[in-house]
Structures are given as C-alpha cells and as structure tokens.
Amino acid sequence: MIKQIAPYYDVVVIGGGPAGAVTARYAAENGASVLILERDREVGIPVRCAEGVSVTGISPFIEPDEQWICTMIKGASLHSPDGNFVEMYNNGDGYVLERRIFDRALVDLACSKGATILTKADAIGFTKNNDGEISGVQYRYLGKNYSVNCKIIIGADGIESQVGKWAGINTTIKLEDLETCVQYTVNNIKINPELCRFYFGREVSPGGYLWLFPKSEYSANIGIGICGIETKPNIGPLYYLNKFMEKNFPNASVSYTVGGGVPTKHGTDFVADHVMLVGDAARQVNPITGGGIVQAMIAGRICGETCTKALQANDFSKKFMSEYEKRWDKVLGANQRFMYSVKSSFIKMSDKKFNSIVGAVKSINQDELNLHALFKVALKEEPMLVAKMATSFLASKIKFDW
C-alpha cells in the first residue's frame, strides 16, 4: 500500500535537492518524522548543474556508486586568454556526476531512514495558528491545495527560494553577486575524460569562467557563468558560450541546454522562528567556484542535527535554532568570507593578469605541480591574489569539523 501523507510531521522540508535530502536524512535518522515536498514530478530533473564535485567533499555523505558517477576526474587545466594553459594533477580526485541519479540516491537514503517524499507538491506558503505562530505548510498537489502541520520548516528550495521571504529572512542578491549561467551538454567531441578545463578572460567569460566537465571521452557539460553586471543587451552568457563553441567545438551536437543563476555572495542569516534555510536557498555556495553541492550537504547535515536538538528541547525559536548558523560558520564561515574577498578582485581581473598567472604556474615542473608548489611559485611570481585565486579554484579541501 502507498504511504499516506499524515496531517502532521515534526519537520517539513521544501525542496528535494541535495540540501533538502541530506537535511531530511539526518533529521529522520535521529527520530524526527519528516516530509519532503518536491515541486517537480521527479527529484533531480531538470538538471541545472555542471555536476562536478570533489571525492573528498561528498564521500562523508554517500557511498560511491557507479550509477551516478559519470567520470572520474584526475586533474584540471587552466586556460588563459592568450591560449596558454597549464594542466594540474595531484590535488585530489573529482567526479562528474549524473545528477538525475545522484539526487534521487540522496532522497532514497533519506527515505531509508524514515523520511517521506511527495513529488509534484508545490509549497505555496505557511499556515499560522491563532497566535500568529507558524504551524505548517500549504502546498498545491495535482491541482488542489492542502496543508500539513509541523514544528520546523526547512527551506531547501534552491536559488529562487520563496521560503526565506515568507519567513522574513533577507536573501536578496545584488546583481554583482549573481553569476548568470548557461550550459550545453554536448556530444560528438573528443576530449580527455579525466581533465576538467577552465577558461578565463574578459573576451571569454567576463567576471566569471567557462568550464568543460567531461561526461565521457565524447561528451561534456560545457558552460559559462558571467557576473550579473557584465550582461548587456544581446551579449549575455549564451553569446560567449556560442562564440567558444564555434571556435573550439564546431561539430559538437547539443543534447541539453540549461540556464540558471548562482549566488556568489555567501549568506549569513538562515534562521527564523520555526524556519531554517539550507543550500542555495541560504546562499551557501562557494563564492568563487559557484560549487554548491558539497556545501548544501554539509549544511544539510548540520541543519538536520539542529532539527533533532530543537525537537528534543521543544524550542523552535530563532535563538535556539541559530546554533545551526554558528556551526556552519565554524565549519565553513571563514572559507566563505575568504572566497568572497578573492571573488571581488577576480571579477575585475584583466586579461594581462590572467596570462601572467597561467604563465607563472606553467613554470612549475609537472611532477611537482600540486597546490603547495603552486602556492609557492605563485607567491614569487605574482601578487598575493594569484595564490589566493589558484588555491580557491583547486583546493576543494573542505574541513569536516563536526
């Protein structure tokens, strides 16, 4: 018999992406009753992601499974505007995921711990009790409105989050702190499947970067993110991406196109009475790489564990649940602030500077080229920023300090 939706759950999670799934899992694992409401008919679809993650980043959360690992990444190449490039290995492995399957696996894991998911369920607001206190979620399912009562609402509803607004949390993003992105998934190309490539420069991707993440020897996610303030009428990310494709992969066939935004200013306010935000909804992405999957999972774990504590204490106040903000800050706050400061300089960087960065890094012997060596040489060759930048792009060495 199909599991019925109950009138009450301890926790209702809005959004079934990585942030929502991991939050649900850790809350359910510790005994909370949890409902995930997902607007789409299936979790993980549509994919709005280049699908790159570090192995060390996701391994604490899920056992590797070849069903969602598309390619194993061994290195990265950095390309400067003058056509020069440097290949870097020895910095830890990465995966290009099959996110349709990965997101589903995370939700399956949450459900195996006791959570329930309802797809095609679009959250449309909160319900309140007679005292005006938040008491549940209203949602639309198959053309009808329903409500479910709960103690805690998790806003895991991604970049376009409404939950923060409903709760009165300021999640506004300035244009300069938003990367506008477009990506093609292409085939009919021939590439090294173990190497991610990054292209920089004002003619290539002003205030951002262009990426190629291999999905096989013959296919890849090729996309671009440019700073919001660099977008002009008819000259946006698609213009730059098409220019790149015509020059580098004129015979590529596009099987999937996706657009989206990435917040590049880290959030700091994630909590209100009865409500916590997590993942892109809380603006928890890495401000310089735009990577948000691992961050969403780290935050999800802390958020899920905070749900347990709040339920045990029967205290759902902003004050009590702000332990989540404090723990997040302890694990990743300093990193996020540092990345943001680097990003602010990065978006103004000249082509000349990009050329000299790649030139400087190229002088390192390939066998010795790891982050440590890069850092030392970059320090000698370039101002401090060079080292900061390279470290930011390649050191996805997230600390786990629970």
Ligand X SMILES: Cc1cc2nc3c(=O)[nH]c(=O)nc-3n(C[C@H](O)[C@H](O)[C@H](O)COP(=O)(O)OP(=O)(O)OC[C@H]3O[C@@H](n4cnc5c(N)ncnc54)[C@H](O)[C@@H]3O)c2cc1C
Cα(214)–Cα(375) distance, rounded to whole angstroms? 27
Q: In this complex, which beta carbon is closest to ligand X, that of residue 71 or of residue 183? A: 183
Query: Which residue in the set 117, 204, 262, 378 belongs to the binding site for ligand X (CB under 6 A)?
Result: 262
CA 118 to mean position of chain CA atoms: 23
Q: Does 117 bind ligand X (CB under 6 A)?
A: no
The one segment of 43-51, 78-86, 240-248, 307-315 that binds ligand X by CB under 6 A: 43-51
Q: How many residues bind ligand X (CB under 6 A)?
A: 37
Out of 12, 13, 15, 274, which residue is the one contacting ligand X (CB under 6 A)? 15
Give the x-and-dash track for 151-190 against ligand X (CB under 6 A): -----xxx---x------------------x-x-------
Beta bridge partners, 127, equal 136
Residues 263-282 that bind ligand X (CB under 6 A): 279-281
Q: What does 225-258 look like in DSSP terms, one character per residue?
A: EEEGGG-BTTBSHHHHHHHHHHHH-TT-EEEEEE
Candidates 65-73, 83-91, 285-293, 345-353; binding stretch for ligand X (CB under 6 A): 285-293
Question: Which three-class secondary structure string do you get for 344-368?
Answer: HHHCCCCHHHHHHHHHHHHCCCHHH
**Rounded-to-integer distance, Cα 301 and Cα 317, Å:** 19
Name the CA dihedral angle for 150, 152, 156, 162, rounded to a multiple of 10 degrees: 80
Determine the Cα–Cα distance for residues 100 and 208; give it in Å rounded to an integer. Answer: 26
* Residue 245, burial from CB neighbour count under 10 angstroms (0-12, 13-18, 19+): middle
- Give the residue carrying structure tokens 């204490």: 313
Among the listed residues 11, 12, 13, 19, the single contact to ligand X using CB under 6 A: 19
Q: Which CB, 31 or 46, lies closer to ligand X?
A: 46
Interacting residue with ligand X among 75, 81, 193, 223 (CB under 6 A): 223
Measured CA distances, 285 to 43, 208, 292, 333 (Å)? 20, 15, 4, 11
Q: Which residue in the set 11, 186, 276, 285 belongs to the binding site for ligand X (CB under 6 A)?
A: 285
**Binding string, residues 341-380; x marks residues near ligand X by CB under 6 A:** ----------------------------------------
Is residue 140 part of the contact set for ligand X (CB under 6 A)?
A: no
Closest CA to 68 of 18, 119, 14: 18
Contact between 337 and ligand X by CB under 6 A: the answer reads no
By the criterion CB under 6 A, which residues form the site for ligand X?
A: 14-20, 37-40, 48-53, 122-123, 156-158, 162, 181, 183, 223, 260, 262, 279-281, 285, 290-293, 296
